[in-house]
Amino acid sequence: MTEQLLHHVEFGAGTPVLLLHGYTIDHRLLLPLEPVFAERDGWRRLYVDLPGSGRSPRLSGPVTAEAMGEAVLRFADKVIGDEPFAVVGISYGGQLARHLVAERGDQVLGTALLAPLVKPNGERVLPRREVLTRDEALVASLDPADREVFASIAVHQDETGWQAFRDHVLPGIRAHHREDAAALLKAYMLAEVPETRFGTHSGPHLLVTGRQDHLVGWRDQWELLEHYPRMTYAAVDGVGHNVHLDRPLVIQALLGDWLDTLAADASR
């Protein structure tokens, strides 16, 4: 039986960029990054739905971090082949992006890690939960199920924050497979920390965290820098877990600089 390819949306042509979303979301979470690429030629964007999310097939065996990583590797091998490529990973996708570096080495040009998962629950150093803006009337008007998940994640609970959440977060939450998500929670961390497998990676890397991110925090990610000698690190104020939705212009500027650095390296 032929293995079903992970669902993905593709834009542009040139150097492949694999974009990996987080837990219980789908590729639509990362589509707000498109304006960064629209300003630049030469990037083939592959927005992927991870197994059991969006329109992608479920895993055929146990749902573990290793199985998720293997599914992404198979996708990359089929769709990208042996071309050099870059990776953008947010939250859980950030762990998978680092796994790709461990597995594919110098074929990975660099990564952009947005609020990446690096430590298991219970071992993270987290800031206290903060809500920076809240429109009580708006929040009260929402469907109870939508209100619960929005209020549990968003630091900006106003009209702008809700529109971004509604358009880019909720669709994936509604589409993911609940049983698989519950199974993954029991084995969501890779058995081996990716950096222990390769030591250092010399490509350009970007790491963006939110000072108000109460889910994965911003302190633990600092430890990654010793493994990426050319990594830019930013802990952005006014930002929760969905960093690119809370301060889009700041994150887009950082991502654009990372892409320009990758392109400059390639031209040398």
Please check whether residue 182 lies inside any domain of the structure: yes
Average of per-residue pLDDT values in the chain = 97
Query: What is the 8-class DSSP label of residue 40?
Result: S
Task: List, for residues 12-51, the tens digit of each pLDDT value.
Answer: 999 999 999 999 999 999 999 999 999 999 999 999 999 9
As a whole number, mean pLDDT of residues 165-185 equals 96
Domain tally for the chain?
Answer: 1
Task: List, for residues 220-261, the tens digit of each pLDDT value.
Answer: 999 999 999 999 999 999 999 999 999 999 999 999 999 999
Structure tokens at 5: 């390819």
Please check whether residue 189 lies inside any domain of the structure: yes
Q: How far is CA 21 from the centre of its chain?
A: 4
pLDDT for 268: 82
Cross-strand partners of 112 = 88, 206
Q: At residue 2, does pLDDT exceed 50?
A: no
Within a 10 A sphere around the Cβ of 68, how many other Cβ atoms?
27
Question: For the chain, what is the largest distance between any 2 Cα atoms, rounded to a whole number of angstroms?
Answer: 55
* The model's pTM: 0.97
As a whole number, mean pLDDT of residues 262-267 equals 93
Please check whether residue 220 lies inside any domain of the structure: yes
Q: Which range marks the domain in which residue 41 is found?
A: 8-127+176-267
Task: List, for residues 125-166, the tens digit of each pLDDT value.
Answer: 999 999 999 999 999 999 999 999 999 999 999 999 999 999
pLDDT for 1: 37
- Asked if residues 193 and 219 have their Cβ atoms less than 8 Å apart, the reply is no
Give the list of residues 6+ apart from residue 267 with CB closer than 8 angstroms, or none. Answer: none
Please check whether residue 146 lies inside any domain of the structure: no
Please check whether residue 154 lies inside any domain of the structure: no
Q: At residue 124, does pLDDT exceed 60?
A: yes
Using N-to-C axis directions, what is the helix angle for 65-79 and 92-104, rounded to 10°?
60
Half-sphere exposure of 213 (CA within 13 A, CB side): 31
pLDDT for 8: 98
As a whole number, mean pLDDT of residues 70-94 equals 98
Please check whether residue 132 lies inside any domain of the structure: no
Q: Which among 171, 154, 151 is positioned nearest to 28, based on CA atoms?
A: 171
CA dist., res. 264 & res. 79, Å (int): 25
Strands (E) across 115-222 are located at 133-134, 156-157, 205-210
Q: What share of the chain is helix, strand, coil (3-state, %, to 5)?
A: 45, 15, 40
Q: Which among 61, 87, 62, 84 is positioned nearest to 72, based on CA atoms?
A: 87
Q: At residue 5, does pLDDT exceed 50?
A: yes
Q: Which stretches within 44-168 are classed as H helix?
A: 65-79, 92-104, 136-141, 144-153, 159-168
Task: List, for residues 178-224, the tens digit of each pLDDT value.
Answer: 999 999 999 999 999 999 999 999 999 999 999 999 999 999 999 99
Q: At residue 100, does pLDDT exceed 50?
A: yes
Please check whether residue 248 lies inside any domain of the structure: yes
- The more confidently predicted of residues 266 and 188 is 188
Question: Which amino acid would we find at residue 179?
Answer: E
In percent, the amount of the chain with pLDDT more than 90 equals 97
Phi–psi pair at 202, nearest 5 degrees: -90, 0
Please check whether residue 163 lies inside any domain of the structure: no
Q: Are strands 8-11 and 43-48 parallel, antiparallel or unpaired?
A: antiparallel
CATH of the domain at 252: 3.40.50.1820
Structure tokens at 34: 């498109």
Give the list of residues 6+ apart from residue 55 with CB closer than 8 angstroms, or none. Answer: 7, 26, 49, 175
Model confidence band, residue 3 (pLDDT cutoffs 50, 70, 90): low
